[in-house]
Amino acid sequence: MLTWPPAPPELLALLPPVLKAVVKALGPARAREWLEARGGVNINIPVGHGPAIGLTADELSRLRLTLAPHTDAAGRVSLPKVDKLWQVARNAAIVSAAKAFSIRDQALAYRLTGRQISNIRRGAADSQPGSGGQMDLF
């Protein structure tokens, strides 16, 4: 019987599919650690225990189950880079606190530029229906 690590549903809701599968299988902290070492490349998830990819047998079993819909015919999956894991959650936090903090305060807190904070806020506002922002064609 597999034991699954806790993964916050609010974080999972913000993540793209492959990243969501990795976080479900490993938990947020272990997913971050593992993706720092393995993210950004195509990887073959072995059927047996694969110490070469740095996972325990239980982690490997969970990962194989969650990534099954995302693998190609050869059993490979393209892993996202680790920075994507927290970028989505960070951007959501920036948008949710936009009325409480100034652009300058958020830029200092998140170590971003004021322009980046403005773009994140504007991107969220433009994606809201009825916001009057230009629709993305692609």
State pLDDT tens for residues 11-33.
888 888 999 999 999 998 898 88
Can you give the pLDDT at residue 24?
Answer: 94
Instruction: Quick: pLDDT tens for 75-123.
Output: 899 988 877 767 877 888 899 999 999 999 999 999 999 999 999 999 8
Amino acid at residue number 95: V
Could you give the CA distance from residue 64 to residue 76 in angstroms, rounded to a whole number?
11
Can you give the pLDDT at residue 71?
Answer: 92
For residue 58, pLDDT over 80 is answered with yes
Domain boundaries, the chain: 9-82, 97-126
Contacts 24+ apart (CB under 8 A), 71-77: 71/45, 74/44, 75/44, 75/45, 76/42, 76/43, 76/44, 76/45, 77/18, 77/42, 77/43, 77/45
Can you give the pLDDT at residue 86?
Answer: 75
* pTM for this predicted structure: 0.67
